[in-house]
Amino acid sequence: MKPPVFSPHWPDDVQALYGHDMDEIWDRSLAPHLWNQYHNLLDCYLGLAGESPLRILDVGCAQATLALLLAERGHQVTAVDIRPQFLEYAQSRYTHGDIRFLAANVLEQDLPGTFDLVFANQIIEHLVYPGELVARLRSLLTPGGRLVVTTPNGDYVKNSLQSYHDLGDPRKWEHMQFSADGEDHFYAYLADELREILHDAGLVDIATRFLETPFMSGHMKARYLHRIVPVAALRRADRGLLSISALARKLAHQLLVIGRSPARHD
């Protein structure tokens, strides 16, 4: 993966994507807490994929950093986003690996093939009918394949948003669907809510993980620590809090839920 080359002719959303990209991947000095936070997440996702080659789908891939890294590590990757201009940006950073870019809405368009692992990172909170998305992605899994869903944690102590079940009639919120950035979030999931959605879609062996205490997210002014404290020490402190379940639920900014498609012998 190579660095992006800025173009003043990009539309505003791609220029914003470039800003995120520089903060998260290419220049740690700009915002050390964002760089550390994003690399911590990438390490988690790459660890879930493992080293044995898999067929992987990354839905809502944006700049496709995760998809590109997975391809570089030997996986066969399909990167999907509803915004073609984001995929063009992603392709400009490609260097090597087996990756296919598709501009598609997975709720409306069929995708070719099936996958051993599907990532749906930070998109489900932008939908008012999440069960449709999860059922759709479950249908794309091979027997025994895994679906990984990440989203802001509704139990986080700093969260001020309503939970999914508190939305009421989802039709009132349809105009908010597919909003692209964090300031457009209008609800957040509790762990039990997200587990229920995966269970209702027929997934099994559902597991929950909490990610990113303030030591890693930089929240609660902990971002100032990222300029003076080694990232290894911040990660140790983060893991220490996450190892205590009661603290993890309240201090973690992110929620990760994994479900498995039943194997033929299940």
227 domain residue, yes or no: yes
pTM for the model stands at: 0.93
235 domain residue, yes or no: yes
Question: What pLDDT digit, counting tens, does each position of 172-194 carry?
Answer: 777 776 654 545 677 899 999 99
What pLDDT score does 127 carry? 87
146 domain residue, yes or no: yes
* Count of H-run helices and E-run strands, the chain: 9, 7
What pLDDT score does 185 carry? 73
266 domain residue, yes or no: no
What 3-state class would DSSP assign to 255?
Answer: strand
1 domain residue, yes or no: no
Domain extent, residue 122, equals 12-260
What 3-state class would DSSP assign to 103?
Answer: strand
What pLDDT score does 182 carry? 47
3 domain residue, yes or no: no
What pLDDT score does 28 carry? 94
Residues in the chain predicted with pLDDT less than 70, given as ranges, are 177-184, 266
CATH number at residue 142: 3.40.50.150
7 domain residue, yes or no: no
110 domain residue, yes or no: yes
Number of domains in the chain: 1
Ramachandran sector of residue 221 (left: φ over 0; alpha: ψ -120 to 50; beta: rest): left
d(CA 249, CA 16): 31
